[in-house]
């Protein structure tokens, strides 16, 4: 029976790399993979949507906007060639309704979602929350904080200062985020607030 999987981690924990390696493994077995990412991830040119990893792996993918349907996309692609597996990168950007659709799709194919669990304020993203509620399998992809402990927070930096306010979604890479343990994150926030007070 196909299942809904959610594999989550902090930034730079190899989520996209693992999604791409998973795609490669299925394709090596002759299976058709539908690779998708939410259109909110705007780091690529609109004409060439890609899933990219920090270690250099990449593959073309479909994109889906918040008001678009995974079921309609699946049906369209499946009509051309039967889809065996759906892989969703940056799944935290999916809407609740879209995750509900991904669960429905498991009647027809397994769905593997990769993404962040928490935003930069240590709260669940909308898509991640629904995935935790509906997934048949949850797996943490672990990474390490600068102190050596397991990272759990995606700390956001603006002008070199760690911040805890601002828009929930702000697309960026190593220049804007650092994965940290909870305690290093709290220290960075306190340090940044002290610097702001002095200025």
What are φ and ψ of residue 51, in 5° steps?
-100, 125
User: 192-198 contacts: CB < 8 A, separation 24 or more?
Assistant: 192/161, 192/162, 192/163, 195/161, 196/161
Contact by Cβ (8 Å): 19, 114 = yes
Known catalytic residues are 90
């Amino acid at each position: 029976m196909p299942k809904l999987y959610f594999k989550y981690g902090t930034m730079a924990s190899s989520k996209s790399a693992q999604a791409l390696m998973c795609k490669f493994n299925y394709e090596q077995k002759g299976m058709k993979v539908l690779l998708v990412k939410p259109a909110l991830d705007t780091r690529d040119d609109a004409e060439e949507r890609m899933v990219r990893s920090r270690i250099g792996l990449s593959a073309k993918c479909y994109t889906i906007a918040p008001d678009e349907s995974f079921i309609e996309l699946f049906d369209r692609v499946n009509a051309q060639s039967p889809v065996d597996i759906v892989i969703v990168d940056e799944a935290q950007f999916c809407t609740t309704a879209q995750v509900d659709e991904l669960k429905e799709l498991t009647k027809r194919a397994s769905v593997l979602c990769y993404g962040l669990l928490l935003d930069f304020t240590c709260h669940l993203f909308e898509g991640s929350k629904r995935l935790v509620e509906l997934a048949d399998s949850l797996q943490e992809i672990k990474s390490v904080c600068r102190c050596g402990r397991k990272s759990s927070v995606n700390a956001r930096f603006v002008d070199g200062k760690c911040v805890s306010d601002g828009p929930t979604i702000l697309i960026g890479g190593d220049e804007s985020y650092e994965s940290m343990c909870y305690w290093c994150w709290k220290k960075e926030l306190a340090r940044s607030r002290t610097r702001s007070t002095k200025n």
